Structure 1
Amino acid sequence: MTLNELKYILAVAKERHFRKAAELCYVSQPTLSIAIKKIEEELGITIFERQKSDILITPIGEKIIALAEEINQKTNLIKDLARQTQNKDITEIKLGAIFTIGPYIIPKLISEFQKTHPSIQFIIQENYTEELIKKLHLGELDFVILSLPFDEPNIETRLIYKEPFVITLSNKNPLAKKASLTITDLAEEKLLLLGEKHCFRNQVLASLPQQQIEHRLQKTLESSSIETIRFMVASNAGISILPCSSVNNYDDKLLTIREFSQYQPERDVVLAWRKSYGHQAAIDCMLHTLKNINLNCTYK
């Protein structure tokens, strides 16, 4: 049994799909399937029950997966410690961020970081929370910037900042004449939201009164990016609720930004890394740099 084979098991456990697990491990599906079948035959047990529409994990499979996860974490720790010994100076940081945060903080982070560590290279990836956490567990990323809540074992987090949500509407919208808005003011508006994979969408919906969500969703349009939503709002196609950093850093004369008058929904943005990550100097540098970055309208 090899470490790669253990990674195949972990990938199938996460994806519950052999093809997707193979893509995650950068191997062909037959290669992954044969490897897992070999492990099951070698151990004389069944880890996964293959069904037409789903993959079930057997009770013994659950125990094996837990041990495989622990081995994977320890392996990453060994690799990190070895790299730390071989290279006392950090030369590369692999950083991930969710789509609704990356464009607004990463340019500032790199600029600030390179003032004191000009030789460090950043490898940047934007993705959904679920995908970033998988890559963090697998060691494909060193750090991830995302928003709470999420509950993952063996992941350490530190708060970077708190970010209010704001109401965004076209200057042509009659509501733009109001100094502040309530949820009731939005009841008859078309609400533009990000697609279902974006955690920010769920955070917005969670901030709305539950009794009004069903009514409002009947008038909702979905988009794939905040920038698309901004342009749609500017053209008076609807209104949106967005993180303040995505709109307050622009001088857009077509948009009106309003705060909620009765309460202020917000999100916690954190830096996350594996507890087994061995570069304490990199962790300290990232946290120090992020604390020195100021995004309009956020607070710590």
Structure 2
Amino acid sequence: MNLRELQYLVALAEHRNFRRAAEACLVSQPTLSTQIRKLEEELGVTLFERTPRRVMPTPAGQDAVARARRILTEMDGMREAARRLSRPEAGTARLGVFPTLGPYLLPEVMPQVRARFPQLQLLLTEEKSDQLLERLREGRLDAAILALPVHDPNLHGEPLFEEPFLLAVPKHHPLASRESLRLEELSRQNLMLLEDGHCLRDQALEVCGLSGAQEQSEFRATSLETLRQMVLAGLGVTLMPALAARGMAPHADKLHLLRFEDSQPSRQIGLFWRKTSALAPLLRQLAELLRAVPPELLDPRNEGRPVPSEDRGRLAPAPAAAS
């Protein structure tokens, strides 16, 4: 058994097709098929159920694939650690971010990241939080920006900032004449929310539980942009994270944002990576830069108004690290 065979094993499990797996591994299909069969003979079990249309891992295959992924991740970590010792802050880092944050946070911080790490190639992945966690655990991501809490003893977390929520309502809504509201007033509202799988949905449902608000059950959006368009069309109200609210200034004639007076609902954002990662020193520095969100962007009193250019370079105070 060698590492190449383990790579074939993982590729076949991911692609579930011998031809596509062989193409991904840059080998011929007979070569990959022969090596998989050789591995099955060595282990004494059938790793894949073969049908005319697809290939599926058997229970033994699923276990073998999971172990192979861990071995390959450790080998990648060994190579990365050796390379990092000779060339610190250079190379490639794979960063994941969830879709209700990425489009609004990354444009604010990436210029500073590029200036600080000019030799670093940062590969960005945007996925729902559950998928980011799975990729992070399997070694397919080096770090992920996630909403707290994240319960995994194998991951290290650095808190970045707290992002408040605002209430977005159409201009003709009874609340559109006000600048703020109390959390308890949400009990009289039916909120439009995202579909299952989005962490923002879970956070909004928590706010609903605290305030007594109800979900608008006949509609669930697939994206934050869809929610925004539904509010603009006058079809309902929703909770909007502060960073996303910045992009609503051009629609001020159709949409109104209210802050909360008493108890400010919000979400905590952090950067997470495997405790065994060779990139930990670099990722700690990256966390410091990701905290560099101008405080004005997270201030609900600014609602959707643009931040003056002279204020955009200010840095938010860095909270203490946490494991």
Report the TM-score when normalising by structure 2: 0.71
The residue that corresponds to 1:224 in the other structure is 222
> Secondary structure of 1:104's partner?
helix
Equivalents in 2 of 1:125, 1:44: separation in Å?
A: 38
Query: Greater relative contact order: 1 or 2 (C-alpha under 8 angstroms, separation 6 or more)?
Result: 1
The residue that corresponds to 1:197 in the other structure is 197
Contact 1:194 1:225 in 2 (8 A): yes
The residue that corresponds to 2:147 in the other structure is 147
> Secondary structure of 2:144's partner?
strand
Equivalents in 2 of 1:238, 1:98: separation in Å?
A: 24
CA distances 1:234-280 after superposition (whole Å, capped 9, x unpaired): 22111001212110454241322223345332211111122232134
Q: Which amino acid aligns with 1:216?
A: E
What RMSD in Å do the two structures reach over aligned CA positions?
Answer: 4.0
**Identity over aligned residues, as a percent?**
28
Cα 1:88–1:41 shift into 2, 3 Å:
same
The residue that corresponds to 1:84 in the other structure is 84
How many residues were matched structurally? 288
Contact 2:145 2:271 in 1 (8 A): yes
> Secondary structure of 2:135's partner?
helix
**Counterpart pick for 1:244 among 242, 245, 252:** 242
Query: Superposition pairs for residues 166-181 of structure 1, below 5 Å?
Result: 166-178=166-178, 179-181=180-182
Contact 2:89 2:282 in 1 (8 A): no
* Alignment gaps of 5+ in structure 2: 51-55, 300-315
Query: Superposition pairs for residues 1-300 of structure 1, below 5 Å?
Result: 1-3=1-3, 6=6, 39=39, 41-44=41-44, 57=59, 68=68, 70-178=70-178, 179-189=180-190, 191-209=191-209, 216-219=215-218, 221-248=219-246, 250-251=248-249, 252-253=251-252, 254-294=254-294, 296-297=297-298, 300=319
> Secondary structure of 1:278's partner?
coil
Between 138-147 and 33-42, the greater mean CA deviation after superposition: 33-42
- Shift of residue 75, structure 1, vs aligned partner: 1.7
Q: Which amino acid aligns with 2:78?
A: I
Equivalents in 1 of 2:155, 2:5: separation in Å?
A: 23
Equivalents in 2 of 1:149, 1:49: separation in Å?
A: 38
Cα 1:114–1:217 shift into 2, 3 Å:
same
> Secondary structure of 1:289's partner?
helix
Q: Which amino acid aligns with 1:152?
A: D
- Shift of residue 26, structure 1, vs aligned partner: 5.4
Contact 2:170 2:176 in 1 (8 A): yes
Between 162-171 and 277-286, the greater mean CA deviation after superposition: 277-286
CA distances 1:132-191 after superposition (whole Å, capped 9, x unpaired): 2333334433221121233335322110111122211112101222431435445353x2
Q: Which amino acid aligns with 1:170?
A: P
Contact 1:95 1:141 in 2 (8 A): yes
Equivalents in 2 of 1:173, 1:18: separation in Å?
A: 51
Cα 1:231–1:121 shift into 2, 3 Å:
same
Between 167-176 and 178-187, the greater mean CA deviation after superposition: 178-187
Cα 1:172–1:92 shift into 2, 3 Å:
same
Q: Which amino acid aligns with 1:120?
A: L
- Shift of residue 198, structure 1, vs aligned partner: 1.2
- Shift of residue 82, structure 1, vs aligned partner: 2.8
Contact 2:89 2:119 in 1 (8 A): no
Report the TM-score when normalising by structure 1: 0.75
* Alignment gaps of 5+ in structure 1: none
Equivalents in 2 of 1:208, 1:258: separation in Å?
A: 16
Cα 1:249–1:211 shift into 2, 3 Å:
closer
Contact 1:91 1:119 in 2 (8 A): yes
Contact 1:195 1:222 in 2 (8 A): yes
- Shift of residue 115, structure 1, vs aligned partner: 2.8
> Secondary structure of 1:161's partner?
strand
Q: Which amino acid aligns with 2:176?
A: A
Equivalents in 2 of 1:33, 1:155: separation in Å?
A: 36
- Shift of residue 114, structure 1, vs aligned partner: 2.5
